[in-house]
């Protein structure tokens, strides 16, 4: 495992220790540690809701009453109120999703309610709706616990009198209501399976209908030939719709809150996973469309930035998903993020190179010394850029190997980009024999100049000069620039020019000079 990854995991562990449910570090400043040793877990809104549902799942209304503020309730009525609250939750009431109920001892301080109050759901009876409120109540030991607030508990009897049995209980046969599994009638568990199946059918059908309509609309209004494949969006979109329909349906038909609560965290997890996958697919879809448009417009300079933005967007989506999953599992992510200071030094030391490489990737994309597909040279490496990532750049060498260079190092190097050449240098030195007559030399020079001037691929300013008279040869230099679309095209052009030079020299009866050789003969 890379050193940075080990350091990151260690820092993350140090950060999450105070966020673990029941951890002593999860208490607000000045709180007595006894607040975190409450035997019923009422130290946070999430703990109170979970504890109440657990007590009702165990068919223990007396224990469930411990989660209610009974200070304004006649003595001996606690268990009855707890049961009535369950009836209201069964008949259209609901708790918020697990990730929406705070696991912090001080609750969700970002809402608009008082710091000692927390809304965790709603009760519905007839045409009357009432928010389900928890209140932080001080105890004799100096600590506080969260309970269903006294006004909420006081309103339960009135709501219960006007409440009707849920749709499911009105239609279920007695046999399916009398037989219970985990204190819940078997009929309710069967209803969950049926609702889940029907929700999947409806959700995927709606997704197919929506994507079909979107595809038709795009084809009708599309003005370019940029391809748009929306099929990968179908599965996550269908799953997202199916889970949403399921969560609404189980409340509407009156499935017992105990059964709902037992599996709602699974539904919420699937919901977030589907949403994250949908976002990832949409990012891919948008990036592919933009890339096709960029390539069609020959704006290849933007492709590297597009690739980097796609990767960053996906990283953000996965980070948000991770936070939500941790929230669903009961971790106090807010405290975990704040507690990153505990492992901040270790994280900073381990992440130095990563931060350097991230800044380097931004510099490479912003300055654009190379783009994906460019042939370049840096250091002693020559090759074609295949990918500019968040951490590193990958280059394919002529030997077909991949060289991976950290972006921090790559951005600081001297990079020679061959792909941006507007012209190619053609420089050749001809060595003719020393006995070549001056008249022949003039004819060769004139013929070479005329040949270069008549070639449309040779840029203006081409030179052909007699540059040196040595004891071994007479040297003629050809110096010009050739216009070519790419390097293979230049190689073909250079080949044609060299053959033309050979033909010109041969036509003048002159010959190329060869280096003298010393041969020693011994008897």
What is the greatest pairwise CA distance in the chain? Answer: 134
150 and 196 fall within a common domain:
no
Whether residue 188 is found in the same domain as residue 337: yes
* 87 within some domain: yes
Tokens of 175: 């046999």
Domain co-membership, 78 together with 193: no
Task: Say yes or no: 145 and 201 in one domain.
Answer: no
Picking from 329, 346, 363, the residue at the C-terminal end of a domain is: 346
Residue 11 domain flag: no
pLDDT digits (tens, 9 = 90+) for 449-498: 999 999 999 998 899 999 999 888 999 999 999 999 888 899 999 999 99
Residue where one domain finishes, among candidates 164, 199, 234:
164
Whether residue 112 is found in the same domain as residue 192: no
Residue 129 lies in a domain: yes
Q: How far apart are the first and last CA of the chain?
A: 72
Residues 317 and 216 in one domain: yes
Assigned domain for 56 exists: yes
Domain check: are 230 and 148 in the same one? no
Q: For residue 444, tell me if it sits in a domain.
A: yes
Residue 491 lies in a domain: yes
What local confidence, expressed as pLDDT, does residue 352 receive?
Answer: 67
- Domain end, chosen from 346, 380, 403, is at 346
For residue 54, pLDDT beyond 70: yes
Residues 134 and 237 in one domain: no
Same domain membership, residue 259 and residue 302: yes
Q: Describe the crossing of helices 303-328 and 344-367 by its angle, rounded to 10 degrees.
A: 150
Q: Which of 453, 385, 347, 451 is nearest to 13 (CA)?
A: 347
**Running DSSP on this structure, what letter comes out for residue 518?**
-
Residue 5 lies in a domain: no
118 lies in the same domain as 189? no
The range of the structural domain enclosing residue 266 comes to: 184-346
Give the domain CATH number at 445. Answer: 3.30.70.100
In 138-169, which positions are buried (b, 16+ CB within 10 angstroms) versus exposed (e)?
eeeeebbbbbbbbebbebbeebbeebeebebb
Q: What is the pLDDT of residue 12?
A: 43
Q: Is residue 470 part of a domain?
A: yes
Residue pair 115/107 in contact (Cβ under 8 Å)? The answer is yes
Tell whether pTM > 0.95: no
pLDDT tens digits for 210-267?
998 888 887 777 654 555 678 889 999 999 999 999 999 999 898 999 999 888 989 9
State the Cα–Cα distance between residues 408 and 420, nearest whole angstrom: 23
Q: Domain total for the chain?
A: 3
User: Are 196 and 339 part of one and the same domain?
Assistant: yes
54 Rama class: left (phi>0) / alpha (psi -120 to 50) / beta: alpha
Q: Are residues 130 and 189 in the same domain?
A: no
Helices (H), 455-486: none
């Amino acid at each position: 495992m890379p050193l940075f990854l080990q350091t990151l995991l260690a820092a993350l562990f140090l950060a999450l220790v105070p966020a673990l449910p029941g951890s002593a570090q999860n208490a607000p400043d000045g709180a007595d540690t006894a607040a975190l040793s409450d035997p019923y877990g009422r130290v946070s809104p999430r703990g109170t809701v979970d504890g109440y549902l657990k007590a009702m799942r165990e068919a223990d209304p007396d224990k469930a009453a411990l989660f209610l503020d009974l200070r304004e309730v006649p003595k001996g009525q606690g268990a009855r109120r707890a049961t009535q609250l369950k009836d209201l939750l069964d008949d259209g009431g609901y708790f918020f999703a697990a990730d929406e109920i705070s696991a912090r001892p001080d609750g969700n301080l970002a809402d608009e309610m008082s710091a000692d109050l927390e809304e965790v759901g709603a009760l519905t009876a007839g045409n009357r709706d009432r928010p389900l409120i928890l209140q932080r109540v001080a105890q004799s030991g100096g600590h506080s616990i969260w309970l269903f607030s006294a006004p909420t508990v006081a309103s339960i009897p009135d709501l219960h009198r006007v409440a009707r049995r849920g749709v499911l209980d009105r239609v279920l046969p007695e046999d399916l209501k009398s037989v219970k599994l985990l204190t819940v009638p078997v009929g309710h568990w069967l209803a969950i399976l049926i609702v889940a199946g029907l929700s999947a059918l409806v959700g995927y059908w709606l997704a197919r209908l929506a994507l079909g309509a979107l595809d038709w609309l795009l084809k009708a209004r599309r003005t370019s030939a940029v391809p748009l494949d929306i099929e990968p969006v179908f599965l996550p979109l269908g799953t997202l719709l199916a889970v949403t329909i399921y969560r609404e349906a189980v409340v509407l038909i009156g499935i017992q809150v105990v059964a709902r609560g037992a599996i709602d965290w699974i539904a919420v997890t699937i919901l977030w996973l589907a949403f994250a996958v949908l976002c990832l697919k949409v990012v891919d879809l948008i990036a592919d469309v933009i890339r096709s448009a960029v390539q069609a417009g020959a704006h290849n300079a933007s492709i590297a930035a597009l690739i980097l933005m796609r990767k960053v967007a996906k990283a953000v989506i996965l980070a948000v998903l991770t936070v939500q999953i941790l929230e669903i599992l009961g971790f106090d992510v807010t405290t975990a993020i704040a507690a990153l200071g505990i492992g901040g030094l270790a994280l900073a030391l381990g992440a130095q190179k990563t931060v350097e490489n991230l800044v380097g990737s931004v510099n490479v994309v912003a300055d654009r010394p190379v783009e994906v597909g460019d042939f370049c040279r840096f250091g002693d490496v020559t090759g074609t850029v295949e990918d500019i990532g968040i951490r590193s750049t990958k280059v394919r060498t002529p030997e077909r190997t991949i060289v991976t260079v950290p972006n921090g190092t790559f951005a600081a190097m001297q990079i020679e980009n061959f792909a941006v050449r507007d012209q190619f240098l053609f420089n050749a030195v001809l060595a003719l024999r020393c006995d070549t007559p001056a008249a022949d030399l003039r004819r060769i020079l004139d013929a070479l100049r005329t040949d270069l001037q008549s070639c449309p691929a040779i840029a203006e300013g081409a030179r052909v000069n007699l540059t040196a008279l040595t004891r071994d040869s007479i040297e003629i230099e050809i110096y010009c620039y050739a216009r070519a679309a790419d390097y293979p095209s230049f190689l073909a052009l250079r080949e044609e020019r060299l053959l033309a030079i050979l033909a010109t020299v041969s036509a003048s009866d002159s010959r190329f000079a060869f280096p003298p050789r010393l041969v020693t003969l011994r008897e």
